[in-house]
Structure 1
Amino acid sequence: MADTDRKFSWRQGDALPDEAAKALNLQHPENPGATVVVVISHDCDLTAVAEKEPESEIIVGRRIDKLGGDSYGKTARRLHIEYQTAEGPVALELMATCKRPIGKPVLFETDPRRDMWLDGRGAVILQRWLAARYHRAAFPEAFEDRLRAAHISGKRILLKKLENILAVGGDHIRGLLFDLDDGKDVERDSPEDLYQLGIMVLYDSLRDEPTAAAAATKAAEELEKLFDAAFHSHDTGWQNICLKYCDPISDSAITVAEREMLKQWRLEHMSVQDDPPQPMITD
């Protein structure tokens, strides 16, 4: 096949054949035998002439046993995603820090592997995860500080417990949507100056919905207990953060208006002050 034909055969999300990855010394640093190299450049960039777009971008990923808490792009730095094969789904882990450039002439010397592919839904998840690096919701520093500093039984373990709750329902829960102070960005001062928080536990309606709904309901109940233990006492009531509600909701039930009003809480728990300013997308 001519190189001009090969460039039109590559699509975002395609994987390199194992032989090509080995020949290019593209091996996962922790688990070389499980390496899967994924092309992440947009389709338009892949087909653009090399004089204008001389390089494409890849991620050196790896196969994992199953999806975990990083599915559905809940973490901007790491993605667990399912690829399809003739034998059934295969779970991969992609790290944003493992991105590398690859020259188009080198890439177009081979064809994408055909024994492993993304379905349409997987392609959308990959696209959203790639965009999320530059489109993360930012929360007030005081709010994040209160989450980090929260004590449960004398230990600062709220964030770890929150992460564990999501990990249990990882392949069913798409994310946590925060309704914080009705969208107002306020830096609050005293413990009595409460952040008013509502949480929606968004679950996948297309993949075993009864099980997903049960997982989201359990996660919501655990989150209510967690926030009560961290921020509420019989003597003082709510301090720092008041959890108004925590409800499971199907991704097929949430409205566009609701989704636009809410901010997704990602597992890295970062705000814009933790990273250098990055360009933002608006869609």
Structure 2
Amino acid sequence: MTCIVEPQCECGRVIAKFKQGSIIKVSDLYIDDQSKFEGENHVFVISHDCDITAEWDKEPDIEVLKVQILNEGEQDSNLIYGKSPREIDLPVSINGIQKYLKLSQLTKTKISKQYNQNIIADDSLMIEDKGVLLLRSWLSSRYKRHSFPESLADRLSKLQGKIEQRCKSQTKAKGIIALFINVDPSEEELEEGIPYDIDIAIVYESDIEAASANAQALKLDIEKCLEQIETQHPDSIMGKVSIRSDSEFTFKDMRSYVEWRFEHLSFRGETVGATVE
């Protein structure tokens, strides 16, 4: 477990008693900032640690989200793994009890660093290391989402549905980190009869026993679906699929592909693959 409220202390920088992933009581905020959160009890810090500790005249604001604390059973299972780039029910521990933080990127608000830098975070909150990576991936997902041409999105809809259907099963998705896709052409709208060339990479966790087999089974499903699409809609998609372990998928690969976000595939295993970041 990682205590997300450990104070930051860097020579020549702001000494902050909170960091990214901390929750802060609204009643502890500077009075002018309290007025932004009427009816709220806590805010959730999302600014990067380096921005939090930077001198306030260089980084004058701290970004926070409104937060609702949910008990076990109140969470939306579809939001736990960041399926929506806008909302997440983030698993946490508060006073040793399993809870969930309901967060929405649509509630992002700035508070003054100058008048809030001495606030102490609520130290009852704990987030596992995997949860911290999930949080950071979710925060960035709003800006890293793939954007397909409409004609390609239509052609991929059947395949996407097939993948989502298979991976609703945690057993079948276990150990799969993410899918990455390379599209040619990547932005052009193509007319019917002119195919898109796609290359899909399934990345799995090498330390998970069932991961390689699950990745191989998913690969076969995708290949079968691509064959069906080609039969029903000739010259719409030409595709190939490969599987890679997290140790094989390189930084060079990441520059060639974009993540095809199926968040309910990610963070299923014991560890979180580095390629997701």
Shorter chain as normaliser: what TM range?
Answer: 0.5 to 0.7
Q: Partner amino acid for 1:187? A: E
The count of residues paired between Structure 1 and Structure 2 equals 242
Cα 1:265–1:69 change in 2 (3 A) is: farther
Following the alignment from structure 2 to structure 1, what is the Cα–Cα distance between the partners of residues 52 and 156? 42
State the partner residue of 2:51.
Answer: 45
1:204-215 maps to which residues of 2 (within 5 A)? 204-205=205-206, 209-215=208-214
> What is the Cα deviation at residue 199 of structure 1?
1.9
State the partner residue of 2:63.
Answer: 57
Of residues 261, 268, 276 in structure 1, which corresponds to 2:256?
Answer: 261
1:75 and 1:267 in contact (8 A); partners too: no
Following the alignment from structure 1 to structure 2, what is the Cα–Cα distance between the partners of residues 173 and 258? 17
Q: Partner amino acid for 1:13? A: G
> What is the Cα deviation at residue 40 of structure 1?
0.2
TM-score normalised per structure 1: 0.63
> What is the Cα deviation at residue 178 of structure 1?
0.8
Cα 1:51–1:205 change in 2 (3 A) is: same
Q: Partner amino acid for 2:136? A: Q
State the partner residue of 2:194.
Answer: 193
> What is the Cα deviation at residue 11 of structure 1?
1.0
> What is the Cα deviation at residue 266 of structure 1?
2.5
Cα 1:177–1:242 change in 2 (3 A) is: same
Of residues 4, 7, 16 in structure 2, which corresponds to 1:8?
Answer: 16
2:202 and 2:215 in contact (8 A); partners too: yes
State the partner residue of 2:271.
Answer: none
* Partner SS, residue 232 of structure 1: helix
Q: Which ranges in structure 2 are unaligned for 5 or more consecutive residues?
A: 1-7, 264-276
Of residues 179, 184, 196 in structure 1, which corresponds to 2:182?
Answer: 179
> What is the Cα deviation at residue 257 of structure 1?
1.9
> What is the Cα deviation at residue 167 of structure 1?
4.1
Cα 1:162–1:126 change in 2 (3 A) is: same
1:99 matches 2:100? no
% of aligned pairs identical? 26
State the partner residue of 1:232.
Answer: 230
Q: Partner amino acid for 2:182? A: D
Q: Partner amino acid for 1:163? A: E
Cα 1:53–1:255 change in 2 (3 A) is: closer
1:1-283 maps to which residues of 2 (within 5 A)? 8-16=16-24, 25=38, 27=40, 37-62=43-68, 63=70, 75-79=84-88, 81-83=90-92, 87=96, 91-104=100-113, 107-108=116-117, 110-148=119-157, 159-169=160-170, 172-181=175-184, 185-190=187-192, 192-205=193-206, 209-229=208-228, 231-233=229-231, 238-245=234-241, 247-266=242-261
> What is the Cα deviation at residue 68 of structure 1?
5.3
2:197 and 2:238 in contact (8 A); partners too: yes
Q: Output one character per residue of 1:30-58: Cα deviation in whole Å (capped at 9) or x when no partner.
A: xxxxx874200122322334455443111
Following the alignment from structure 2 to structure 1, what is the Cα–Cα distance between the partners of residues 211 and 38? 40
Say what the alpha-carbon RMSD is for the aligned residues: 4.2
Q: Partner amino acid for 2:21? A: G
Following the alignment from structure 2 to structure 1, what is the Cα–Cα distance between the partners of residues 238 and 98? 41
Following the alignment from structure 1 to structure 2, what is the Cα–Cα distance between the partners of residues 26 and 252? 47
* Partner SS, residue 264 of structure 1: strand
1:166 and 1:173 in contact (8 A); partners too: no
Cα 1:174–1:16 change in 2 (3 A) is: farther
